[in-house]
Structure 1
Amino acid sequence: MIRLVTIKDAPQLLNIYNYYVLNTILTFDIEPLSLSAFKVKMTDILSHYPFIVFEEDHDILGYAYGSKWRPKPAYKKTVETTVYVKHGLHGKQIGTKLYAKLLELLEQEQYHSALGALTLPNDASVNLHEKFGFKKVAHFKEVGYKFDIWLDVGFWQLQF
């Protein structure tokens, strides 16, 4: 089931996230986050944006949220989107279900534009975004450095 996140979910969400920190290029964090730092991040997001989880039998299998894209006030109706699925559970439509619900919530809150920032290459995330009508609007070459390689980032945009 998909439900709103609570701060009690932090340990499970942190385990999902830190796997990607340590093993993938999908996030530009290099060191695992602490539980206290992750709770601060969650609290900040929850105070302004939708934050949801996909749960089965008390096990969180994925999560998604909106967040501030840029700090200037004129950007307040633009939101960055994030979705993570527990490692090993891809292909089960968890990300698709989370993204559908997140986009519904963002549209209800009258955001005008949603942006997905994707480390490239990343066919699965590109396909997920394009399934929902996101269009590629930018490609930045070699803007991140992780695991001794330079990484590109692309932006996909959806307007509500």
Structure 2
Amino acid sequence: MGPFRPQPGYKYTAEHSIYIQQDFRGQGLGGVLLQEMIAQATAKDLHCLIGVIDQANQASVALHLKHGFVLAGVMREAGFKFGGWLDAGYYQLVLPTPQTPVDG
């Protein structure tokens, strides 16, 4: 988990990534890690978590939807990997924090 953008106005937003080695997929580890990241973000008084997911990765999309993330938008052919162009879906979870945000 790291900053979404370097500008001060985004200080309450973080972008996260989860990578599970092929041999360990399908065992619930992604959910455990995502729940822990949500807990850490809440403890850090963040307001928004962003996950950028290859739209072909239906397992990751389903994981994020299951944990309350919503699709905020798709950037077509924004990445290139595995010999092809990838559509990047931006998935967002708005947290109940902070209680008293401060500008920039």
1:19-47 deviations in Å (ceiling 9; x for gaps): xxxxxxxxxxxxxxxxxxxxxxxxxxxxx
Please tell me the residue identity of whatever aligns with 2:94.
Q
Summarize deviations over 1:94-152 as a string: whole Å, max 9, x none.
Answer: 11111111111110111000000001211100011011100000101111123331111
Partner of 1:76: 11
Residue 101 of structure 2 corresponds to none
Equivalent residues in 2 for 1:100-111, closer than 5 Å? 100-111=35-46
The Cα of 1:88 is off from its aligned counterpart by: 1.3
* TM score, norm. by length of structure 2: 0.86
In the other structure, the counterpart of 2:60 is 125
Give the superposed CA RMSD: 1.0
The alignment of Structure 1 onto Structure 2 pairs a total of residues equal to 95
1:49-95 per-position Cα deviation (integer Å, ceiling 9, x unaligned): xxxxxxxxxxxxxxxxx111111110010000111112211111111
* Structure 1: unaligned runs, 5 residues or longer: 1-65
Q: Where in structure 2 are the equivalents of 1:1-150 lying within 5 Å?
A: 66-150=1-85
Report which structure shows greater RCO (CA 8 Å, sep ≥6).
2
- Pick the structure with greater CA Rg: 1
User: Which SS does the other structure have where 1:102 is aligned?
Assistant: helix
Letter in 1 for 2:3: K
Give the match's secondary structure for 1:117: strand
Provide the C-alpha distance between the structure 2 equivalents of 1:148 and 1:102, rounded to a whole number of angstroms. 31
Distance in 2 (CA, whole Å) between partners of 1:84 and 1:125 is 10
Structure 2 residues not aligned, in runs of 5+ = 96-104
Question: Sequence identity, in percent?
Answer: 34
Paired letter, 2:16:
T
SS of 1:101's equivalent? Answer: helix
Q: Which has the higher helix share?
A: 1
Q: TM-score, normalised by structure 1?
A: 0.57
